[in-house]
Copies of this chain bind each other. A is one copy, B any other.
Amino acid sequence: MESCKLSKALMRRLPLYLTHLKSLPGEDRNVSATSIANALGLGDVQVRKDLAKISNAGLRRVGRSRDQLIHDIEAYLGFASQSGTIIIGAGKLGQTLLDYGGFETSGLNVLAAFDLHPVADRSASGKAIYPMSLLESFCKHNNVHVGIIAVPPESAQSVCDRLIACGIRAIWNFAPVPLTVPSHVIVQNEDLAASLATLCLHMQHRQKKLEIV
């Protein structure tokens, strides 16, 4: 478990395993990788490898303890939930992210959004939207380590700088501009237009046998 590779694909599958395991009838005390794989339409080997990465419960032929597996997956995902996350920019995209149910299902901790001029002080799901002037004190008093940037491109770098000054160590950037950050800060870029364009080109180039990476 110590030397595991963490892949985004694994992080996609873990919540699926969790939902499936929790949906099983109470009398199913043990589960096999094969039964999970069959139920979710995944490969046997894949499921076996995934579970070996996140759980020490062993690979017995009789199957693993379902409760132990649920516990191990939750503990693993819970690791992520220790990272308090805030969103900067409470426009349509920012509010969609603030109210995105999938984060909570995965145990992720999106605390609030901030905006220069909040149009409301709560989102549709009741999460707080604060004015930017409160950013520094909020970060100081809460355990905030991750910032999501959902502002227009021209404001992204200055928001980024301000987040880093607040102690943010990881940034998920939805603005389609490159950000300059010090080496201790991780940036994950999410450019929706680039994603769609890549998919479109991928499809159209397929027949032309161009290699897409």
Which A residues have a C-beta under 8 Å from some C-beta of B? 2-8, 11-12, 15-16, 40-42, 77, 79-83, 85, 92-93, 95-97, 99-100, 102-103, 105-106, 108, 110, 124, 145-146, 148, 169-170, 172, 176-178, 180, 186, 188-206, 210-213
Tell me the nearest residue of chain B to A206, going by C-beta: B186
Number of copies: 2
> In the bound complex, do residue A12 and residue B100 qualify as a contact, i.e. CB atoms below 8 Å apart?
no
Given A4-B210, A8-B195, also A204-B82 (CB < 8 A): yes
**Is the Cβ of B204 less than 8 Å from the Cβ of A11?**
no
> Assuming A176-B15, A199-B170, A202-B6, is B210 touching A103 (CB within 8 A)?
no
One of B186, B194, B199 near A146 (C-beta < 8 A): B199
Q: List 13 A-B contacts (CB under 8 A).
A: A5-B211, A6-B213, A7-B198, A7-B213, A11-B197, A11-B201, A41-B180, A42-B178, A79-B200, A92-B96, A100-B192, A145-B203, A186-B203
